[in-house]
Amino acid sequence: DAKTTQPPSMDCAEGRAANLPCNHSTISGNEYVYWYRQIHSQGPQYIIHGLKNNETNEMASLIITEDRKSSTLILPHATLRDTAVYYCIVRVGGTGRRALTFGSGTRLQVQP
Amino acid sequence: DADVTQTPRNRITKTGKRIMLECSQTKGHDRMYWYRQDPGLGLQLIYYSFDVKDINKGEISDGYSVSRQAQAKFSLSLESAIPNQTALYFCATSDAGTGPYNEQFFGPGTRLTVL
């Protein structure tokens, strides 16, 4: 699986957009980008995933660069409840016989 | 009711004791996983199982063993607990599926302290 690099921490004002970057310069053509988050020692929660097109769901948007070497998770209107550690994971999708590999993630602190 | 449950939620034990952590799921998923999380760090994969007859070692399997008793149950054992196994343990499940969607559903975690 491709290695990912994320900043260790970020701050964001409540109500503003939170933009969390992830570098994955060694990503392969069949590897997807997944984002999970973990709120204060709870089990991680899936947010979104994508291959090469931008994706949006009710939680967030995922912007993947054209060369696929980096991506940005966007929380459009951050709230205090979005304070969490956000993990960017790159791996082959579907029935591949490998589990997710979690790095250290980005600790997002949403400020009131 | 929660889809993925873990018991116990908290456990304090002594060095050398055998301990079992249990995970049950009602999602009907074939795949189950055990992760460990040390303070301030990401999750590390201990073992995973893609069906009842399949067991695979993860990144940090030494000192641990698992049992997949049924599709819905996956247990993690520490045969002889040591203090550096003090951590937060998570169980997760996922559907095999045929597409790229690979969402894992996590349990609430078990906080284990080995004295």
Q: What is the pLDDT of residues A52-99, one digit of tens each?
A: 989 999 999 999 999 999 999 999 999 999 999 999 998 876 555 567
Mutate to test the interface with A, among B46, B56, B102, B103 (most CBs of A within 10 A): B102
Gap between the Cα atoms of A54 and A64, Å rounded: 6
Give pLDDT, residue B97. Answer: 63
Low-confidence ranges of chain B (pLDDT < 50): none
Partners of B108 on chain A (C-beta within 8 Å) are 42-43
Query: CB distance B106–A91 less than 8 Å?
Result: no
- Cβ-Cβ contacts under 8 Å between A and B: the total is 65
According to the model, what pLDDT value does residue B65 have? 97
- The pLDDT of residue A53 is 87
A16-35 confidence digits (pLDDT tens): 999 999 999 999 888 889 99
| Residue B57: both structure tokens together | 């070692």
Q: How many CA atoms lie within 13 A of B69 on its CB side?
A: 11
B98 interface with A at CB cutoff 8 Å:
yes
Tokens, residue A100: 């997710």
Query: Are B42 and A105 inside 8 Å of each other by CB?
Result: yes
Whether the Cβ atoms of residue B87 and residue B110 lie closer than 8 Å to each other = no
A42 to chain B, any CB pair closer than 8 A? The answer is: yes
How far apart CA A34 and CA A21 sit, in angstroms, is: 13
SS3 A27: coil
DSSP state, A5?
B
Question: CB of B2 within 8 Å of any CB in chain A?
Answer: no
Mutate which of B104, B111, B113 to disrupt the A interface (most A C-beta within 10 Å)?
A: B104
